[in-house]
Structure 1
Amino acid sequence: MICEEAYQYQQLHDHMMMMDLSPSPLSSTISPSSSPMSPSNNTDSNEEERLEDVNLSGMSLQSLPNPSLNLGIICKLDLSNNHIEKIPESLTARLLNLVALDIHSNQIKALPNSIGCLSKLKILNVSGNFLVYLPKTIQNCRSLEELNANFNELVRLPDSIGLELTNLRKLCVNSNKLISLPTSITYLTSLRVLDARLNCLMILPDDLENLINLEILNVSQNFQYLTALPSSIGLLMNLLELDISYNKITVLPESIGCMRRLRKLSAEGNPIVSPPIEVVEQSLQAVREYLSQKMNGRLVNTSPKKKSWGFRKLVKYGTFNGRSRAWTREEREGLIMPEYRPIDILASNRFPGISPRSIFSPRTYFSR
């Protein structure tokens, strides 16, 4: 174990040391008379530090050794595809210039509270772990634009997640155990993509119309849990793709008829009764027209005419009378109604004691 930790430390140290820490050519322009402790010199010194990407993906790391160099120069850190179980609080607290953090496909059960110190973080990928919740401090990552938390065990999101992450453009929380989405999510006015499929969602928040920039909404495969959509879903005027497939939705909100920019609607796998299934199977335009007319109270039958499999009239062909005769034109063209008595006449008062059930009874009448 000691050897393994030493190896991991050496690997991390080697990767860190590969970063270019050479002084910038700008340093030669600094006047020798400038005081090394003057404010202008400190500013130049900060500009000279070059931010670096560190890639430690797929190195079978079980933990992160304490590096001896300044973590403040790292802007992108990739720790994905390892066996890491915990991110130290002290590590994230020192990644002050971090813009992208990728820790997907590890064995992490909780994120450190100090993740809220990453005020410059724009991309966070924590998918493929064992997270049950996200720390409330994540709302302090106000520069966050993309949050990927797919394939975890999340049962809820922070209640106030939408109040502070006003720059969030993409939120992916599919393949978790979410029962609902917090109401504050409707404050994410910059959101473009919301992927919440493969959860246990029972309800969607009202006031979805506040997501004025949302273009893709996927709440498919919540199966028996999601039974209805809020009427506000039709007020997402910039929505391009809506996937509600494989739920228990029976009625599409009439407001969907107002979604003129919608170009893709996936609704298969639902027991939809309104609009009728034959309308849903036609096209998105047919669905929009149906719902729009229903909303305006001037619904007409837009379903296609079903093919009739009956005959106009049946002809009594004398098949069982043992005689053949010439057919008239009307009989040949099948325009004459038959004169056969229906079988239920056997159950009438004229034939007491005889019923269709006795005729088709499985008894053996020849047993006597």
Structure 2
Amino acid sequence: MNDTLAELRAGRLAGARRIDLSCGLTEFPREVFDLADSLEVLNLSGNALDTLPGDLHRLHKLRVLFCSDNRFTTLPEAIGQCHGLDIVGFKANQIRSVPAASLPPSLRWLILTDNQIEALPDSLGACTRMQKLMLAGNRLRTLPPSMAGFKQLELLRISANRFETLPAWLTTLPRLAWLACAGNPFDTQAEDAAIAAQSVPHVDWRELTLGRQLGEGASGVIHQATLGASQQVAVKLFKGAVTSDGWPHSEMAACIGAGEHPTLIAAQSRIDGHPQGTEGLVMGLVDPSFVTLAGPPSLASCTRDVYADDARWTADVALRIARDIASAMQHLHARGLLHGDLYAHNILWHAQRGGRLGDFGAAWMTGALDAAQASAFQALEMRAFGCLLEELLERCTDAAPASVGALKDRCLQPTPAARPSFAEALSLLQRASSSP
């Protein structure tokens, strides 16, 4: 028996604000209601639940509910009666139905990744606080038209679904900055073409010697490795399952399609001949003196990265990082790629050597769009860049040129079509860097 469950049943968790229960539960433990006056976060992920009690609303302080990796086939209507819920996560269930009554208007962050959902109710539009909506890995062909009123939506994941086209209103949302759409029918032809184009050389698995693990994400594992006799590289081996961003295959296509750029961490070679048939890429090994700019968003920050308390730099360093990232993004846009996840947590930085942009898990291709459509979606990423500029400037130890603050404001303005391009942003940042 899970120790937490034993503690709960023994009455020793009085006053708890968060509990995590992952112990093969097939029924909701009624003892949870003893915590109704304190419980704010309830994590029931990794069990065998398929229902929630109809009186769930008795947990009147509940703000966060996670029920991922269970056996739900319908999003429970009991959730809709919990009027204080802020975050709900039902990733990797078997959900086919999302009743209108299951969606409390208070929602700010909804995770329904990796289910079997074919349609969402128009009542979703009543969740006007929605900032973050995770829908990758379902069977959606359309989104509810009511979502056009989502004035607070900042991050949307609809990769690995069945979209033949994208709703035109997506490019009008005033705060949308992080959009992932890869692995849909409109995009897969471009992905296949990128992989088939042999735009990076192939490397035989036997030429690689894996070293220590450098990191692991939802889509794969990264190792330090030796190529041939002595060349030090990084190797990413992809997992097969759908992630919050989409299919690993789509990420690999984006890495290959990105090509080479000095401030981009992209693919050098594609790996052939892995004994388990695992797909993989060889990438440049970034000097370990580069460090991650920030941590990913928290439950509290929702869509914004979390910086270390002591994160500080000069205006010159901030400008160098911003310039390098703008240059990488201009390169991607010119090659018909949207990054989809332009965040500080995907940037490595060095005080003297600037920034390097990586992680193509949410990237997607604009090859199926006309020039006007592609430009409209590129404008969404300018808001993400504006958020990054804002974060960099907030932590400067001295004053940056006024023109950079003005650029930040232009990137963040609510009319996407009026935002600058990355080419214009890069030109301005270069001038600011050279000014006395």
TM-score normalized by structure 2? 0.44
| CA deviation profile, 1:25-55 (whole Å, cap 9, x unmatched) | xxxxxxxxxxxxxxxxxxxxxxxxxx62121
Task: Report the 3-state secondary structure (helix = DSSP H, G, I; strand = E; otherwise coil) of the residue aligned with 1:262.
Answer: helix
Judge conservation of contact 2:36–2:59 (CA < 8 Å) in 1.
Answer: yes
Runs ≥4 residues deviating over 4 A = 224-228, 257-261, 284-288
2:43 aligned with 1:78: yes
Judge conservation of contact 1:71–1:94 (CA < 8 Å) in 2.
Answer: no
Task: Give the drift of 1:134.
Answer: 1.4
Instruction: Label 1:186 to 1:240 Cα distance change in 2 as closer, same or farther (>3 A).
Output: farther
Uncovered stretches (5+) of structure 1, i.e. residues with no partner: 1-6, 22-50, 229-238, 266-283, 289-368
- Residue matched to 2:26: 62
Task: Give the drift of 1:98.
Answer: 0.6
2:189 aligned with 1:195: no
2:17 aligned with 1:20: no
Instruction: Give 1 or 2: higher strand fraction.
Output: 2
Letter in 2 for 1:19: L
Task: Give the drift of 1:96.
Answer: 1.9
Instruction: Label 1:226 to 1:251 Cα distance change in 2 as closer, same or farther (>3 A).
Output: farther
- Residue matched to 1:262: 381
User: Quick one: distance in 1 between partners of 2:80 and 2:112?
Assistant: 16
- Residue matched to 1:182: 144
- Residue matched to 1:335: none
| CA deviation profile, 1:164-215 (whole Å, cap 9, x unmatched) | 2111110000000001111111111101101000000123223334410111
1:148 aligned to which of 101, 111, 119: 111
Task: Give the drift of 1:126.
Answer: 0.5
- Residue matched to 2:65: 101
Instruction: Give 1 or 2: higher helix fraction.
Output: 2
- Residue matched to 2:96: 132
| CA deviation profile, 1:242-290 (whole Å, cap 9, x unmatched) | 867368715332571795673699xxxxxxxxxxxxxxxxxx86899xx
| CA deviation profile, 1:138-189 (whole Å, cap 9, x unmatched) | 34x2221110100000001111211x21111100000000011111111111
- Residue matched to 1:168: 130
Letter in 1 for 2:124: I
Task: Give the drift of 1:88.
Answer: 2.3
Judge conservation of contact 2:178–2:380 (CA < 8 Å) in 1.
Answer: no
Task: Report the 3-state secondary structure (helix = DSSP H, G, I; strand = E; otherwise coil) of the residue aligned with 1:256.
Answer: helix
Uncovered stretches (5+) of structure 2, i.e. residues with no partner: 191-337, 342-361, 385-420, 426-436
Judge conservation of contact 2:45–2:68 (CA < 8 Å) in 1.
Answer: yes
Q: Which moved more, 1:72-81 or 1:242-251?
A: 242-251
User: Quick one: distance in 1 between partners of 2:377 and 2:89?
Assistant: 35
| CA deviation profile, 1:65-113 (whole Å, cap 9, x unmatched) | 43285352221111001111222223x2322211000000111111321
Aligned length: 220
User: Quick one: distance in 2 between partners of 1:250 and 1:159?
Assistant: 26
- Residue matched to 1:39: none
Judge conservation of contact 1:72–1:97 (CA < 8 Å) in 2.
Answer: yes
Task: Report the 3-state secondary structure (helix = DSSP H, G, I; strand = E; otherwise coil) of the residue aligned with 1:168.
Answer: coil
CA RMSD for the aligned pairs? 3.5
Judge conservation of contact 2:141–2:162 (CA < 8 Å) in 1.
Answer: yes
User: Quick one: distance in 2 between partners of 1:65 and 1:114?
Assistant: 15
Letter in 2 for 1:208: L
Task: Give the drift of 1:20.
Answer: 3.2
User: Quick one: distance in 2 between partners of 1:175 and 1:245?
Assistant: 15
Letter in 2 for 1:167: R
Letter in 2 for 1:18: R
Work out the percentage of aligned pairs sharing the same amino acid. Answer: 24
TM-score normalized by structure 1? 0.52
Larger CA Rg, structure 1 vs 2: 1
Judge conservation of contact 1:109–1:131 (CA < 8 Å) in 2.
Answer: yes
Letter in 2 for 1:212: P
User: Quick one: distance in 2 between partners of 1:203 and 1:146?
Assistant: 24
- Structure of higher RCO (CA pairs closer than 8 Å, 6+ residues apart): 2
User: Quick one: distance in 1 between partners of 2:146 and 2:40?
Assistant: 29
1:119 aligned to which of 70, 76, 83: 83
User: Quick one: distance in 2 between partners of 1:188 and 1:214?
Assistant: 9
Instruction: Label 1:244 to 1:185 Cα distance change in 2 as closer, same or farther (>3 A).
Output: farther
Judge conservation of contact 2:70–2:93 (CA < 8 Å) in 1.
Answer: yes
